[in-house]
Amino acid sequence: MIAPVSAEPTIEGTVADLIRRGIGTTATSLVNLARAAAIEMSSVTHGQLVLQVLLPDLLSRGEEFAVEAAQVIWESRNSEGLKPFLQSLLPQMLDMKDIAIRSVAERLCKAWDLPSPLKHQEPPAIYSVVLPNPERYASFAPPSGVSAFSAGLFAEDALTWTWILERQLELASRASEIELANIRHRVAEIMRRMGGESKFGPEAVKFQFARMSRLSLHATYRKLMSQTALQAFREAVGELYAADVIDPDAIPFLEAYSGAYSPVIPTRFPVPRPQTFHAVRMPEIFGRQEGVWIDDVAEDLVAPMLPNGIVLAAVSIHERGFREEKWIAEQYFGPKLKQQEDELFMQLQRIPALLVTDRLNYSFSESCPGSVAHILPTVAGFEVCPLSLCPLGAAALSWLQVPDDVFTYTDALGAKSAWVLYWRDGGIAARETDSGIHRHGFALVVERKYGNQLGQHLPAQYEVLAWRRQQQAGEDVDFRLERLDVPSPAI
């Protein structure tokens, strides 16, 4: 079915506009929800009409809008009613310079058994020019004043614009044997072409903040300079790929480190918090007793349970705040670790890591303790680095990863055996005057019938860690950590 062409406003156009505006807010949580809503629409007739309006608009806007469109197209590729329309978008996607979009288009051609001609292009001359003082391009010092809340002082300088790209540029230089200085200079050229100061300078940032303030959005957002630098880097890699001067095996890794979505991590809405998962008691905003809530952190040392599954590991974050003051509770349940860190994010770095590109990548040669691994924080769209089943642990049990979903495994007969539960409770904290309680987390779950088979692969000792902290303007003013040893969940 083809969407009718009309000059009059339509419900499809209105819904498409709402989704586009959600993406345009740059607020991470809203972008994720907008993308998830678009993907869900691919399975219903009227939703497909919305996508026929939305997707060409996003692709024509380019940059982050086109990246979102490409992911929606990829995850909607099995919709039979939408497939002819999606296939009509392939030529436009194949012509785009962003390597993330180009890769999606090539995967779609392979999935649909269509040809994907690569148009060879000569690389820009800058890649072969000998630059003066190339050693200055090896410095990646952040601009003065940079922080989690500020991009720092703006300067009309390629080094300032590209300071976040150290790892990406080093990888691209090794994969192409082109001097890092030349690639970095080219990325800055692309950023200037994209608008330069007008795109990510002080006035652009001021406008971004003004819009978020007008919408009462007090949420995690994408910094404009960082977003533009990653976009420009992907376009530079796309140029090198089209010129056939970069190792194609390096492309998935370059994409993973530059903000591209993985084809094996599906977008999904979180489910409600299971009632058997502990809901941390959060302090009252007004009339509270300072320090008492922090001191009671031991009451959060509760192992999560599910009636239909065995929880191998779980993490959760519970937040409440008002203006610049915030209270945060974090929990970890899983195999006992050798050291305790001061926050959940750092604690997860103690667990063996998986890098997700177009597949799972890892450097360990033995099964992870408790068969629990964590996903490195290159994954676009997740608020907390999620947990995952160790692929070597899965192999020892003869379990197979579901294609296009690194979080789900089946047994040899195809029955679901393990999965990652992503839950949310209380919505998303979006306003600085929002005093509600917001919770979210991940749990690695195994079907209960595999308990006996699983038990021999698990350590006897597990632990629960609980953190409580009070923050003022993003800085800790009070903090406490407690831990508790617990038996293996399979016992």
Cβ neighbours around 216 below 10 Å, total:
12
Cβ neighbours around 451 below 10 Å, total:
15
pLDDT at 1: 47
Which tokens in the block code for residue 416?
């679901």
Residues sharing a CB contact under 8 Å with residue 199, sequence separation 6 or more, in sequence order: 191, 224, 228
151 by Cβ neighbours in 10 Å (0-12 / 13-18 / 19+) ranks as buried
What mean pLDDT comes out for the span 389-394? 93
CA 76 to chain centre: 19
What mean pLDDT comes out for the span 31-48? 91
What mean pLDDT comes out for the span 384-393? 85
Stretch (H or E) spanning 486: strand 475-487
Which tokens in the block code for residue 342?
């001061």
What mean pLDDT comes out for the span 279-290? 80
Of residues 8 and 80, which shows the higher confidence score?
A: 80
Cα–Cα nearest to 122, from 248, 237, 239, 249: 239
What mean pLDDT comes out for the span 67-79? 95
Q: Residue 273 and residue 280: Cα distance in Å, rounded?
A: 12
For 45, phi and psi rounded to 5 degrees? Answer: -60, -50
pLDDT at 22: 87
Of residues 388 and 153, which shows the higher confidence score?
A: 388
Of residues 32 and 274, which shows the higher confidence score?
A: 274
**Helical pair 99-111 and 63-75, crossing angle rounded to 10 deg:** 20
What mean pLDDT comes out for the span 474-485? 88
Entry pTM: 0.86
pLDDT at 196: 81
Report the range of poorest mean pLDDT among 127-141, 428-442, 449-463: 428-442
The helix/strand/coil state of 321 is strand
Report the share of the chain in percent with pLDDT over 70: 90
Which tokens in the block code for residue 138?
């090896």
* Under 8 Å between Cβ of 154 and 142: no
Q: Is the sign of the CA dihedral 57, 84, 101, 25 positive or negative?
A: positive
pLDDT above 90: residue 231: yes
Of residues 24 and 467, which shows the higher confidence score?
A: 467
pLDDT above 60: residue 145: no
